[in-house]
Structure 1
């Protein structure tokens, strides 16, 4: 018990040091803004980040394929841990899965 009381973790979302046991309970999904989006290699993504594709992706409805290595600028998080919203020339409403991108 004493070990849990002594372990504190810095919570980037709130900017405060919180007990590790409290942070582990919050990761269960009760917080709406506490969704952490990670790319294919585990980097945490944030609004405005630039990402590159790690796989060729066929875009449904656009008749276009985005090639591996394509740079996507200024992403937006959607609130889902696996989806990011982004803009790319010629494609409106592009939503990518985080598992197919790598932070730049």
Structure 2
């Protein structure tokens, strides 16, 4: 949704803040938060990337699956999400597994 204000500047409604702001300011603010420079780090500070293998550093009870992933379990081919602390994983028998980066170590 746009609103033309006096002058040549175009104003855009920012749903996050609930305010009208100049389009140039909104683009600069969202450009810093769009995840393009998102860095996901594991429990010991290694930078994670899509496709990496990780190892669990502690036992984790998986809610809704009724099972526990043990320390030392290897998770192959992770995918990064838009969140700096969450990674999307595949594990046999568990669909839609999302782990916190603080509980894994890069292999």
TM-score (ref. length: structure 1): 0.71
Mean Cα deviation higher: 31-40 or 44-53: 31-40
Output the CA distance in 2 between the equivalents of 1:62 and 1:95: 12
Is residue 57 from structure 1 mapped to residue 36 from structure 2 by the alignment? no
Q: 1:90 aligns with which of 47, 69, 93?
A: 93
Q: Contact between 1:56 and 1:66, CA under 8 Å: does it hold in 2?
A: yes
Q: Contact between 1:57 and 1:65, CA under 8 Å: does it hold in 2?
A: yes
Output the CA distance in 2 between the equivalents of 1:39 and 1:90: 24
Output the CA distance in 2 between the equivalents of 1:31 and 1:79: 8
Q: 2:102 aligns with which of 94, 99, 103?
A: 99
- Residue equivalent to 1:77: 80
Alpha-carbon distance, 1:30 to partner: 3.0
Give per-residue Cα distances to partners, 1:63-100, cap 9 Å, x unaligned. 00000000000000001000000000000000000000
Q: Contact between 1:33 and 1:79, CA under 8 Å: does it hold in 2?
A: no
How many matched pairs? 77
Q: 1:38 aligns with which of 14, 34, 41?
A: 41
Give per-residue Cα distances to partners, 1:3-48, cap 9 Å, x unaligned. xxxxxxxxxxxxxxxxxxxxxxxxxx53422110000000000000
Q: Which has the larger radius of gyration?
A: 2
